[in-house]
Chains A and B, each alone.
Chain A
Amino acid sequence: MNPWRALRTAAFWPMLWKEFVQMRRDRLTLAMMTMIPAGQLMLFGYAIQTDVRHVPLVVLDESRSAESRLLAEALENTDVFRRVGEADDAAEVRQLIEGGAATAALIVPPDYHRRIARGLPAEAQLIVDAADPQASGAALSASQLAAQARGAAITVARLRGPPVPPPVDLRVRPWYNPSQRSAIFIVPGVIGIILTLTMTIITSSAIVRERERGTLEQLIVTPIGRTSLMLGKLVPFVVVGYVQMTVVLLLGRLVFDIPIRGALPTLYLLTFPFIVASLGVGLLVSTVARSQAQAMQLSFFFMLPNILLSGYLFPRVAMPEPAQWIGAILPLTFFLKVIRGVLLKGLGFAVLWPELLVLCGFAAGLVVVSVRRFSKTIE
């Protein structure tokens, strides 16, 4: 049961050759393996924009003054809002929001400019369609910023003196992703998702196919040996995984301008235990599934918590505790910390060693369990 001896024995290489010939010939799997990374990258990189921009805004300006126009402009200048039209009365505002033409409405009462001129606090109303909490949250905070900015400008004008610094000035500096683009957060995660996908779905169905066709039985009666058999079956997918990772990194760099702050060799090295752990899951699935369809279903069942609970799309700190526990038993959760850490923060072994240890633990545990089960099922 020594993998290195198996690599040196002759039986491993024909297995490798056969796998690559089959891979080249299986157009569907080949397409899946090359198109999925590109497709996922475009899909998640472009479509999933958690940063909210261009919320459609309608304005009901009953004040019709220079002051009210300045307030509306201040909102538009935040870039979060995009003015889509004017409303003549409250009923029209309601109608526009209900119909979906607008998500937010600014209502400026008739006495707005008069109260400002008299030095009184002026009120205006911002109505937000809060059905989508993410969009409305962004709209709310942007509107508050705009109102503060207007308030400060009015105060300065009133005092007719030099600008007075505010008593407290909390300056926010978004590190690692200063423009706060979601692509920078998502794209490194795409690599983790793709590797999980390849190592579980494609690997498990490739093994189950050998069992279905009777070729696995045929191989067992040859002198190939179980270790060579498994390595020959699994190593090609490690190669595929690294190729996919490289493709996503390249596209991410070229299309989404993803920073690569850490050392790439470190990243490729740290990825290895994650790949081995995911292969273990794939091998485990292949020992449970009776058909290729079952292997697919089981793998998808495994993919779902990976997508939702690993921190790939949604921050884990915001999840209820049980969801966090489930996330904590997924190798992807730790790999995401590794890949984001290396790419976005330029981290290395010195900081990421706890994640590395956990991933190695996952890899060792899953390989031991799945290899034992696999050996049993081919008896």
Chain B
Amino acid sequence: MSTGAPQTGVPSIVDPEAPATLAGDAAVRVLGLRKQFGDRVAVEGLDLEVPRGQVFGLLGPNGSGKTTTIRMLCGLLEPSAGTAVVAGRDVVRDPEGVRRSIGYMSQRYGLYDDLTVAENLRFYAEVYGLRGDARRDRIEEQLTTLGLDVRRDQLAGTLSGGWKQRLALGCATSHHPHILFLDEPTAGVDPAARRTFWETIHRLARDGTTVLVTTHYMDEAARCERLAFLSRGHLIGVGTPDEVTRQFGQPTIEDVFIMLQHRDEAAE
């Protein structure tokens, strides 16, 4: 596994004075990213590097800029300033290239309720350019690995939350994306389904997929190899879960999270 510069050693507290490195072959490299909606600045001066093949967690209270960041990286939002290079392509200059190499799954899942499980998979596989035997084989493979085979002809709208989530993951990964963006993928899903989901996520990462995930659940944060904490649009800490807790002098990630939330509320 290749690693970017800030990955090893002491807790890497983001220093705005230090020059951010864009070297190495990180999956995502962000430099000075900024997004403004009218008068409100949602994300400011964000520098971030996501190493290839890692499960990378983006954490922060509501309104901290997690979703805005992920949407900029996927090409759903145009940055107001700064650069973001995803899978080696600039999100502003080559959005098409970015879209071909990423998968995206939001908490809304983006499934067609009136299509069956197999039809949803087929549609997204075709949209990503899979045709003929390649498409058929890939759909069968996914139905098996995701355990959706027995439900292949069921309408997606009649699936329970956990199954919908698996199907959405299948739809977002039919083209073997280099990078998978997950925006609060486990919101409103029962614990058993969440566990299965995370097992799938780690399997994808082992196969070389970089996963960038936002979450509210602290047990999920602990499952990430690296974490980045956002607060009020700023990146305030990045490192392994252990490093982050040490950096903020808290016993657990949950304590870090609560501390940040209190700080945000006090600042408002």
B128 closest partner in A (C-beta):
A222
Per-residue A-contact encoding for B194-237, CB less than 8 Å = 1, 0 else:
00000000000000000000000000000000000000000000
Contact pattern, A 185-198, Cβ under 8 Å of B = 1, otherwise 0: 00000000000000
Complex: chain A residue closest to B135, CB-CB:
A14
Contact status of A220 and B128, CB under 8 A, knowing A14-B123, A21-B115, A225-B96: no
Query: From residue B129, how far is it (CB to closest CB) to chain A in Å?
Result: 6
In chain B, positions 86-132 with a C-beta closer than 8 Å to chain A are 96, 99-100, 102, 104, 106, 108-115, 119, 122-124, 126-129, 131
Cβ-based interface call for B167 (8 A): no
B254 at the interface (CB under 8 A from A): no
Cβ-based interface call for A148 (8 A)? no
A-chain residues with CB within 8 Å of residue B100 when the two chains form the complex:
223
Question: Cβ of A17 < 8 Å from any Cβ of B?
Answer: yes
* A219 located at the interface, meaning its Cβ lies under 8 Å from any Cβ of chain B in the complex: yes
Is B78's beta carbon under 8 Å from chain A?
Answer: yes
Question: A13 contacts the other chain (Cβ, under 8 Å)?
Answer: yes
In the assembly, what is the distance between CA of A215 and CA of B113, in Å? 10
CB distance from A221 to the nearest CB of B (A): 4
Closest Cβ–Cβ distance, residue B42 to chain A (whole Å): 14
Determine whether A2 belongs to the interface, using a CB cutoff of 8 Å to chain B.
no
Taking CB atoms, residues of chain A closer than 8 Å to B99 are: 221-223
Contact A11-B114, Cβ < 8 Å, known A218-B104, A221-B102, A225-B96: no
Q: Specify the chain B residue showing the minimal Cβ separation from A220.
A: B76
Contact across chains for B114 and A25 when beta carbons are under 8 A apart: yes
B75 to chain A, nearest CB (A): 7
For chain A, the bracket of interface size reads 20 to 34
Q: Tell me if B46 is interfacial: C-beta within 8 Å of chain A.
A: no
User: Within residues 1 to 59 of chain A, which ones have a CB less than 8 A from any CB in chain B?
Assistant: 10-11, 13-15, 17-18, 21-22, 25-26
Report the minimal beta-carbon distance from A197 to chain B, rounded to whole angstroms: 22
Number of A-B contacts (CB under 8 A): 71
- Asked if residues B131 and A18 are in contact (CB atoms below 8 Å), the reply is no
Q: Which listed residue, A17, A213, A221, touches B76 by the CB 8 Å rule?
A: A221
Please give, as numbers and ranges, the residues of chain A lying within 8 Å of B104 by CB-CB distance.
218, 221
Interface SS of chain A: helix
Complex Cα spacing A11 to B99, Å: 13
Could you tell me the dominant secondary structure of chain B's interface residues?
Answer: loop
Total chain B interface residues with beta-carbon distance under 8 A: 29
Q: Does chain A have a CB within 8 A of B259? A: no
Q: Is the CB of A223 within 8 A of B129?
A: yes
Given known pairs A17-B123, A220-B76, the reply for A215 and B111 (CB within 8 Å) is yes
Contacts of A25 in B (CB 8 A): 114-115
Q: Given A221-B99, A223-B96: A22 and B114 within 8 A (CB)?
A: yes
Q: Beyond A223-B99, A223-B128, A225-B96, is A214–B112 a contact (Cβ under 8 Å)?
A: no
Least Cβ distance of B36 to chain A in Å?
14
A98 close to chain B: CB less than 8 A: no
Contact at A222–B111, with CB atoms within 8 Å?
A: no
- Count chain A CB atoms within 10 A of each CB in B115, B123, B127, B131 and give the residue with the most: B127
Q: Which residues of B contact A (CB under 8 A)?
A: 74-78, 96, 99-100, 102, 104, 106, 108-115, 119, 122-124, 126-129, 131, 171
Q: Which 5 A-B pairs have the closest CB atoms?
A: A218-B110, A214-B108, A14-B126, A221-B104, A223-B99
Known pairs A10-B126, A14-B127, A213-B111 / 20 extra A-B pairs, C-beta < 8 Å: A10-B129, A13-B126, A14-B123, A17-B126, A22-B112, A22-B115, A214-B108, A215-B112, A217-B106, A217-B110, A218-B104, A219-B110, A221-B99, A222-B124, A222-B128, A223-B96, A223-B99, A223-B128, A223-B129, A379-B77
